[in-house]
Amino acid sequence: MEEKLNFSPNALVVLKKRYLKKNEKGETIETPFELVERVSSTVSAIEKKYGATKEKTDEIKNKFFRMIASLEFAPNSPTLMNAGKELGQLSACFVVPVEDSMESIFDAIKATALIHKTGGGTGFSFSRLRYKNSVVRSTGGVASGPVSFMKVFDAATQAVKQGGTRRGANMGILRVDHPDVLEFVRCKEKEGDISNFNISIALTDNFMEKVLKEQDYDLIDPHSNAICGKINARQTFDLIANHAYKNGEPGIIFIDRINDENPTPHLGAIESTNPCGEQPLLPYESCNLGSLNLSKFLRETDGKFEIDWNRLKEVTYLAIRFLDNVIEANKFPLPQIRENTLRTRKIGLGVMGWATLLGFLGIPYDSDEAIELARKLMKFIYDVAKEESMVLAKERGVFPSWKESIWDKRNVRIRNATLTTIAPTGTISIIAGPTSSGIEPNFSLCYFRNVLEGEKLLEVDPAFEYVAESQGFYSQELMNKIASGESIQKMKEVPEHIKRVFKTAMEISPLWHIKMQAAFQEFTDNAVSKTINLPNSATVEDVKEAYLLSYKLRCKGITVYRDGSRSVQVLTVDKKKDEKAPAEVKEEKSSLISYPKPRPEVIMGTTTKVTTGCGNLYITINQGQDGEFFEVFTQMGKAGGCAASQLEAVGRLVSLALRGGVDIKVITEQLKGIRCPSPSWANGKKIFSCADAIARVLEKRSMDQKEIVKVEVPVLEKNEATVAAKKSNSFSNIVGVCPECGFALRHQEGCLLCDACGYSKC
């Protein structure tokens, strides 16, 4: 039966790396078929609890199996990883309360560690913590404030490996009327600080009104609820926009709007969301998510595609039943999470493959037709989801806190307090792919993915591939050009009407990104995870306009990302060009280093052997065609260990400096004389450390290149791929290098994603 599975080669690699069962030695002991069987069996077994016969349970199991195996639906990662295993924790989203006491703070840290251990992500509101330097009456001391405690949470997260697959992800939220709001906005000013958190500011309707009127607003002491200061709303708004312009954070959520649609206000106000912002939750609630792959719900007639509404309806029914069953099958990490999740039974059915669907239909992402279809499609999914939840309520009962909920007031007996969520689907869309992620536009129409043992697979957006073949302009040369970073908008061989349909993320105006988010939000009762892409040339005013438009269009939150804002090196301030820049940006707006020179396919160099206190060190220095030093490689005679990794790091950084145009004298001055506990002697000179040895060889080779022996060094495809990606407009949001495969990482929906191997970090 293995042939029934439709997983792509790259999906199989991701499944093996992160989802398939492994034994104590780390060896894979499960096939993809067995994974789907494990998940569908575990989740369908809940039917017996509600009186289903064995035959009925088997029928539902087979339907679950089909919709997952055919890539029409995918549950969130913890369900794929843990269903049917001893761990058994199936939820992706949690919110943990942080009250204003040491006991509560460290209880929250413990809860977070347990949640991250099982594969979940956590959200926190730090708005209840008293502000920095306020008096703590019980001790007579002063409070250290929310930001200091966030750093404690961040350190704890760093120490916990999440389910053996990734570091835990956190969301930190602070209300805009908290006295420490300005410090919170600035808390990730230095790249790398509080790195395990996404941060968002909770904006109130009152604050937004004050922004529009350019008036002051009150700062509220969270301990006494007394007014403890005033600040100009426009000043705070500008600071938020300035920092988002610089590095994409903080995001913003419209907290009053979220609570206007809180389905159970009698249980309390919502203060926080999960790490990517799409799931507002009450304290100690969790939510189970899953996504429909829209690109699989198409019918072709005479070369023209249309949505298969009947199949979409059938799978939506199944997906809602599946997600409700997941709640029962779940092994919750804490008893209070079990209690609070069961009382509201929140689920979140979302979508992926939206851009791919539009491509097949021939509809541009940035068009009114696409916006109207988004509304129609999401309304259809929501109506079907509600219908099935009402059926489940008849079979199994309403959620326990139904009384006094918004559903009670509407006289709708329903099984689940919430039904729909648009979540990020980075890794899931690779498993269900090739298809586009969430409701995002394509970031590239074609790219190379790393598959097996270094083999690369050219992966093309299915809609673009179909159109290129059917209209006769498909060629391997064209696809390679796109994969190397060229935009089809500049290609003569691509027809103009095709260019109009297949714009990539950075080729679409931010206005259309926001309009698309708002269209889906209209029929999503949780929230929508979406990145509003801005070109590198965007201004702080563009960020502010995006915020105001998202508020006007009734989004529940927004994350903006200016292309390149996390991937450039600041050198010196250019005062002349900065005279008209906003104050917050002026101090850091700079002339920027260019990207490193691309590496030729073949390059020549020399290898020098140096005896160090750690063993024989082989230092290879390669030169470019112009004779300038280009890169450095090191190899220690003793393979592996910390020394080898440190040497590799030094070699990479020296190479980056050389390729970026840094003078070799500056490099040698930095390395020369660095000491370690085991110095040695070589050629009558003392070698203080391996770094010192590299400096001496660089210095020697720069003075006398005639004594060297030339060798040929293999191609560095990973570096080339990253450089090509950075140079390209069609590879947007490049923020670094993947730690697993060396390809480019990009920023999307609050996460770092690698298109090549599926690595993700939120």
Supply the residues annotated as catalytic.
274, 276, 278
Are 181 and 232 in contact, with CB atoms under 8 Å apart?
no
Closest CA to 291 of 392, 433, 393: 433
Q: How far is CA 77 from CA 66, 289, 291, in A?
A: 18, 9, 11
User: Can you name the residues that pair with 173 across neighbouring β-strands?
Assistant: 125, 200
431 membership: H or E segment, kind and range: helix 426-431
Q: How many CB atoms lie within 10 A of CB 209?
A: 12
How many angstroms separate the CA atoms of 297 and 357, rounded?
Answer: 8
How many angstroms separate the CA atoms of 123 and 284, rounded?
Answer: 10
Residue listed under structure tokens 């920095």: 132
Q: How many CB atoms lie within 10 A of CB 227?
A: 11
Are 297 and 352 in contact, with CB atoms under 8 Å apart?
no
- Residue 463's Cβ-side half-sphere holds a number of Cα atoms within 13 Å equal to 31
Which tokens is 231 given? 């600040």
Phi/psi of residue 183, nearest 5 degrees: -65, -40
Complete DSSP assignment for 598-664:
PPPSSEEEEEEEEEETTEEEEEEEEE-TTS-EEEEEEEESS-SHHHHHHHHHHHHHHHHHHHTT--H
Could you give the angle at the alpha carbon of 104 between the alpha carbons of 98 and 109, nearest 5°?
75
Which tokens is 296 given? 């699989």
Q: At what angle do helices 664-671 and 690-703 cross, to 10 degrees?
A: 150
Q: CA gyration radius for the chain? A: 27
Are 617 and 697 in contact, with CB atoms under 8 Å apart?
no
The CA-based dihedral angle spanning residues 657, 658, 663, 664, taken in that order and rounded to the nearest 10 degrees:
110
Q: How deeply is 54 buried, as exposed, middle or buried, from its count of CB atoms within 10 A (0-12, 13-18, 19+)?
A: exposed
Q: What residue type is 442 in one-letter code?
A: N
First-to-last alpha carbon distance for the chain, in angstroms, is: 35
How many angstroms separate the CA atoms of 392 and 327, rounded?
Answer: 13
Question: SS3 letters for 169-210?
Answer: CEEEEEECCCCCHHHHHHCCCCCCCCCCEEEEEEECHHHHHH
Closest CA to 311 of 7, 70, 1, 32: 70
